[in-house]
Amino acid sequence: MPNGSHGQNAGAGALLAILRDGRARTRAELAELTGLSRSTVSQRLDGLIAQHWVVAGEGSISSGGRPAAVFAFNEGARVVLAADLGATHARLAVVDLGLTVLAERAMELPVDRGPERTLERVVTAFRELLAADGPDPAHVCGVGVGLPGPVEHASGRPVNPPLMPGWDGFPVPEWLGERLAVPPAGPEAGPEAGPEVARVPVDRVLVDNDVNMMALGEHWAAGPAVDHLIFIKMGTGIGCGIITGGRLHRGAQGAAGDVGHVRVPASDAPCRCGNSGCLEAVAGGASMAAVLREAGIEARGGRDVVALMRAGDLRATRLVRQAGREVGTVMASIVNFFNPSVIVIGGDIAEAGEQVLAGVRETIYSRSLPLATQHLAIRASELRDRAGVVGAALMVVEDVLAPDAIDRAVT
């Protein structure tokens, strides 16, 4: 057992944890909050300042009349590269330690072409973002990736992901870490890329399921007062991310939140999983588009269905509303079971706004217990398209700024 788990003075990491609330503080305040002596506080602050985690400034006039030095968390000390890969689209971002998105890019990127072709494009796009927007590659402290399938969190490897042929067991963290660290080969190595983005050495690549990342992002946006949150992604497929006691609940096999294949009553619609009557088969974007195509209306996926609804197509509107009701029916049992304080609806179908929310609310409020719904908020995603990259960045930031990790970095 390492010493840290039982016996430890408040180290540099604990000081930084206090400063992360965004308030600048004096040495005296920090000594009071930690129980450390002022000289120890000063010594630890020196270590944090030397590595740019903390910046010093002049604060308000202290009681003695002289301005006291104040210390603040430096959100710009490092950046994180975050990628949110969906089945067909990806969003990439450079994010600072305060979760501000400094640069981002959305692009078509179908994951069914296999891990190497997909991740090669991610690496190139990360290099371009760094070159174009200027953060020093040496300031990259980690990479966070969300993937559209089950991921073994500890290893960051996909586990039998149904939409991702060729990805099963692929070592995403190792592959990305190695590829980012070496200079790009071939035409990419030309003068356009610039030598300053040639190498991005990172020792921390964390990978998880995309819906878990979105739940983390939305929970951060909702604020720390929200303890129990369920994020529902309504896109091509349907899945949940679950926050309990402020932390992600991944489940025994990391499969928690996989509600897309729950059977809904009174449906025998065939599902791509091989069964019938699954929630996705009636409320997934792909299924709704297929229903419209059968009626002779052109629709490739959920985004088209929502676009048709916005254009006033009644069949699309009815489908979206009914999709909300079907999701609400499944969630009604889960609300009784889990008693969340907030349910956030995101994904392409959530862009339908009130049409889909009304269906979800209607069934949850009529079928769940009053005690579980009296303070329950059911709302659309705040971060929308950015929920995944913010969550992926947060996963990395929490790892980088964990007090133990900072204690080791600042000695």
Chain residues binding a copy of itself by CB under 8 A are 1, 3, 6-10, 14, 17-18, 33-36, 150, 159-160, 227-228, 240, 242, 244-245, 247, 249-259, 261-263, 265, 330, 332-334, 336-341, 367, 369, 371-372, 374-376
Q: Give me the least distance between CB of 153 and a copy of itself, in Å please.
A: 12
Q: Give me the least distance between CB of 264 and a copy of itself, in Å please.
A: 9
Q: Which of 311/371 has CB closer to a copy of itself?
A: 371
Asked whether the beta carbons of 77 and 95 are under 8 A apart, the reply is no
Residue 53 has φ and ψ, to the nearest 5°, of: -70, -30
Q: Give me the least distance between CB of 259 and a copy of itself, in Å please.
A: 5
CA angle in degrees (0–180, nearest 5) for 131-53-209? 65
Q: How far is CA 199 from CA 63, 127, 134, 193, 399, in A?
A: 50, 9, 14, 11, 22
CA dist 19 and 214 (Å) reads: 25
Q: Which of 204/263 has CB closer to a copy of itself?
A: 263
Q: Which of 308/344 has CB closer to a copy of itself?
A: 344
Rg for the chain, CA atoms, rounded: 24
Q: Give me the least distance between CB of 374 and a copy of itself, in Å please.
A: 7
Q: Give me the least distance between CB of 373 and a copy of itself, in Å please.
A: 9
Q: How far is CA 293 from the centre of its chain?
A: 33
Q: Which of 200/342 has CB closer to a copy of itself?
A: 342
Q: Which of 85/259 has CB closer to a copy of itself?
A: 259
CA angle in degrees (0–180, nearest 5) for 164-294-263? 55
SS3 365: helix
Q: Give me the least distance between CB of 214 and a copy of itself, in Å please.
A: 16
Q: Which of 41/111 has CB closer to a copy of itself?
A: 41
Q: Which of 109/242 has CB closer to a copy of itself?
A: 242
Asked whether the beta carbons of 241 and 210 are under 8 A apart, the reply is no
Q: Which of 64/223 has CB closer to a copy of itself?
A: 223
Q: Give me the least distance between CB of 159 and a copy of itself, in Å please.
A: 7
**Nearest C-alpha neighbor of 248 from the set 165, 321, 144:** 144
Q: How far is CA 95 from the centre of its chain?
A: 12
Q: Give me the least distance between CB of 410 and a copy of itself, in Å please.
A: 16
Q: How far is CA 187 from CA 123, 125, 183, 395, in A?
A: 14, 14, 11, 33
Exposed/middle/buried for 56, CB within 10 Å: 0-12, 13-18, 19+? middle
240 forms bridges with which residues in the sheet? 232
